[in-house]
């Protein structure tokens, strides 16, 4: 079933901004002392690009990166793209930004907006009563891949994450980190990954993130609360250590939200440095990465009665998140061989494994012009993933009839940023994904 919806009544300008300010690296000196003692070096790079994805089709755009503008490790990335399916986007990203007067607080604004020429949404049409059997609902684990709505319209996404670095582990005495890279590979100044104990190793954050998103007619807003431990050597490209996150996300029903809802989420990751275990420790990094993720919607069966239909039946408005957030699989991060949000339900579980190996060959070093792009290395990757969504969080159900995805990809490290290209296949076909940062 394909239903086409055209939406044209939102903001006039397109703007995709994904602002990622992950962590700031500040020493326990005062902000004034740091300003006096840290020499700032500003570097910039500009790069036109072309890409292809199953969602956008062919696209062309430009990218600019600036590092060290106001703080030593702060980076700004901006750009935009136009695609053959009518999508228009622009983006702006910040990384490593801290409050100068209290450096234990990091700020991570995250803003997204743009216009989708064509987008598939795996959700039943508005006003359609839920099917008697959940498996017939669009986006369910058993749903047909052609059971979606085809929509066009604006996408807006605004987030502002506040992070407080706890005074434990690597964050006890140091809050401004200065990783030392040689040809893009960490040589010293690790941020974690030295011990399993959070009081000895890694950085632990309390995160509070207000958010607002409106994709076409599906709007949501609220606050995300999380406890995050980053126990890896270098968060941009981890080669050892682990990552743990436990989060509670709540839409309070403010503004133009579809409905209030609540979810709980857990994300656990491990990184094994195979080059240290099986090869020469001085060789280029070879990493085996694992990810476990699960989520449950606490308010899935809660609802408000908003009216009576012509047949005298109650019209219920369920407290469920939109299909692009909450318990969903498919897209850039989880089950990469499926369309974005292909599967969505009350609960989900996911397991991912990826092998990553930096290679010696770098074609960007062959010409003077491409050398200026500051591409340090290329990395090859191979991955396998399994996951499933379900109408309840039940360990047996979530491990029955799981979907799978497998493939390989290329990573490009430039100006402290990972550019990622993945090609994946599954029982529903092949998919190409191009994005920034590792999937996990």
Sequence-ordered list of residues with C-beta below 8 angstroms from that of 238, at least 6 positions apart, any chain: 193, 232, 269, 271, 287, 289, 438
Residue 362 has pLDDT above 70, yes or no: yes
For residue 379, give the nearest of 348, 400, 354 by alpha carbon: 354
> Is the model more confident about 128 or about 315?
315
**Residue 418 tokens, joined:** 């990972």
pLDDT interval class at 13 (50, 70, 90): very low
**Chain centroid offset of residue 108 CA:** 13
CA 159 to chain centroid, in Å, comes to 13
Asked if residue 263 has pLDDT above 70, the reply is yes
In the chain, how many domains are there? 1
In the numeric block, the tokens 């990184």 are attached to 271
Beta bridge partners of 219: 214
User: Nearest CA to 119 among 257, 213, 10, 3?
Assistant: 3
Average model confidence (pLDDT) for the chain?
A: 85
Structure confidence at residue 89 (pLDDT): 83
Q: What pLDDT sits at residue 217? A: 81
pLDDT digits (tens, 9 = 90+) for 204-225: 999 999 999 998 888 999 999 9
**Please, are residues 246 and 227 in contact by the beta-carbon 8 Å criterion?**
yes
pLDDT at 10: 35
> Can you give the residue range of the structural domain that contains 111?
2-436
State how far the Cα of 326 lies from the Cα of 323, in Å rounded to an integer. Answer: 7
143 CB burial (10 A radius; 0-12, 13-18, 19+): buried
Output the CA angle 236-293-133, nearest 5 degrees.
145
Name the CA dihedral angle for 14, 17, 18, 24, rounded to a multiple of 10 degrees. Answer: -170
Confidence grade of residue 40 (pLDDT, cut at 50, 70, 90): low
pLDDT at 98: 84
Whole-number Å distance between alpha carbons of 3 and 247: 34
pTM of the model: 0.85
Phi-psi region of 56 (alpha: psi -120 to 50; beta: other; left: phi over 0): alpha
Mean pLDDT value of segment 419-440: 92
Looking at residue 132, its pLDDT comes to 67
Collapse the DSSP code of 301 into the 3-class scheme (helix H, G, I; strand E, B; otherwise coil) and give the result. Answer: coil
CATH of the domain at 121: 2.40.160
Three-state DSSP class for residue 395: helix
Tens digit of each residue's pLDDT (9 = 90 or more) over 298-311? 999 999 988 888 88
Is the pLDDT score of 8 beyond 70?
A: no
Residue 359 scores a pLDDT above 90: yes
Spatial CB neighbours of 70, under 8 Å, sequence gap ≥ 6: none
Q: pLDDT value at position 102?
A: 87
The pLDDT value recorded for residue 29 is 35
pLDDT confidence bin for 130, thresholds 50/70/90: low
């Amino acid at each position: 079933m394909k239903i086409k919806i055209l939406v044209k009544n939102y903001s006039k300008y397109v703007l995709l901004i994904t602002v990622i300010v992950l962590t700031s690296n500040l020493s326990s000196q005062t902000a004034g002392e740091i300003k006096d003692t840290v020499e700032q070096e500003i570097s910039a790079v500009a790069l036109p690009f072309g890409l292809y994805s199953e969602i956008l089709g062919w696209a062309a755009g430009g990218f600019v990166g600036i590092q060290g503008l106001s703080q030593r490790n702060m980076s700004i990335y901006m750009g935009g793209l136009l695609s053959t399916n009518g999508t228009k986007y622009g983006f702006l990203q910040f990384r490593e930004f801290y409050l100068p007067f209290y450096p234990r607080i990091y700020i991570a604004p995250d803003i997204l907006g743009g216009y989708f020429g064509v987008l598939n949404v795996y959700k039943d049409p508005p006003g359609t009563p839920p099917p008697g059997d959940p498996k017939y609902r669009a986006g369910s684990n058993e749903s047909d891949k052609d059971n979606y709505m085809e929509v066009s319209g604006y996408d807006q996404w605004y987030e502002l994450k506040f992070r407080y670095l706890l005074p434990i582990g690597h964050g006890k005495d140091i809050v401004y980190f200065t990783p030392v890279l040689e040809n893009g590979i960490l040589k010293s100044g690790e941020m974690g990954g030295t011990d399993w104990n959070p009081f000895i190793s890694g950085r632990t954050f309390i995160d509070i993130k207000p958010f607002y998103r409106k994709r076409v007619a599906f709007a949501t807003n609220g606050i995300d609360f999380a406890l995050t431990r980053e126990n890896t050597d270098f968060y941009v490209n981890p080669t050892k250590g682990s990552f743990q996150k436990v989060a509670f996300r709540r839409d309070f029903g403010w503004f133009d939200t579809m409905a209030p809802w609540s979810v709980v989420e857990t994300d656990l990751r491990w990184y094994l440095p195979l080059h240290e275990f099986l090869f020469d420790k001085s060789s280029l990094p070879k990493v085996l990465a694992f990810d476990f993720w699960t989520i449950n919607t606490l308010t899935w069966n809660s609802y408000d009665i908003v009216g009576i239909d012509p047949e005298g039946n109650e019209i219920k408005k369920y407290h469920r998140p939109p299909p692009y957030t909450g318990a969903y699989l498919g897209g850039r991060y989880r089950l990469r061989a499926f369309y974005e949000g292909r599967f969505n339900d009350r609960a989900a579980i996911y397991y991912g494994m990826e092998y990553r190996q930096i290679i010696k060959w770098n074609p960007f070093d062959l010409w003077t012009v491409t050398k200026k792009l500051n591409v340090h290395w290329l990395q090859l990757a191979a991955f396998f993933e399994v996951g499933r969504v379900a109408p309840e969080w039940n360990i047996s159900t979530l491990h029955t009839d799981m979907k799978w995805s497998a493939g390989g990809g290329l990573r490009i490290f430039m100006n402290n940023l990972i550019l990622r290209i993945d090609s994946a296949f599954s029982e529903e076909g092949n998919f190409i994904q191009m994005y920034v940062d590792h999937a996990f």
